[in-house]
Amino acid sequence: MITAIVPTYRRPDGLGRAVRSLFAQTGMDAFYITIVDNDPDGSAQDMIDQLNADCPAHISLVAVHEPNPGVANARNAAMASVDTRLVAFLDDDQTAPVDWLSQLT
């Protein structure tokens, strides 16, 4: 099992594109996505709610709020919440090819 971690900071549209590219992954029976909102104000919540509503059943979507600025803090917060052996990082200004996770596992 693998967790894809997506840290985000005030880029709701980018977050939506990044996570939806994970929703489109092929060759994966099940996996986790952890979104880390790194904005002290929690500005990603509306997009996280939309993504939760659209999340396919075979994917578990988790959101973490890390108010201390910095991508290292966001990644560390995500790692503290992950239970899978494998982890992949996708930034909120990227999208993943459809076979990205299956190629990593």
**Nearest Cα residue to 64 out of 86, 79, 85, 83:** 79
Distance CA 5, CA 45 (A): 16
Amino acid residing at 56: P
pLDDT digits (tens, 9 = 90+) for 61-98: 999 999 999 999 999 999 999 999 999 999 999 999 99
Instruction: Tell me what the mean pLDDT of segment 46-59 comes to.
Output: 98
pLDDT digits (tens, 9 = 90+) for 10-41: 999 999 999 999 999 999 999 999 999 999 99
Q: What predicted TM-score, i.e. pTM, was given to this entire model?
A: 0.95
Instruction: Give the CA distances from residue 89 to residues 10, 13, 42, 53, in Å, rounded to whole numbers and listed in that order.
Output: 18, 18, 20, 22
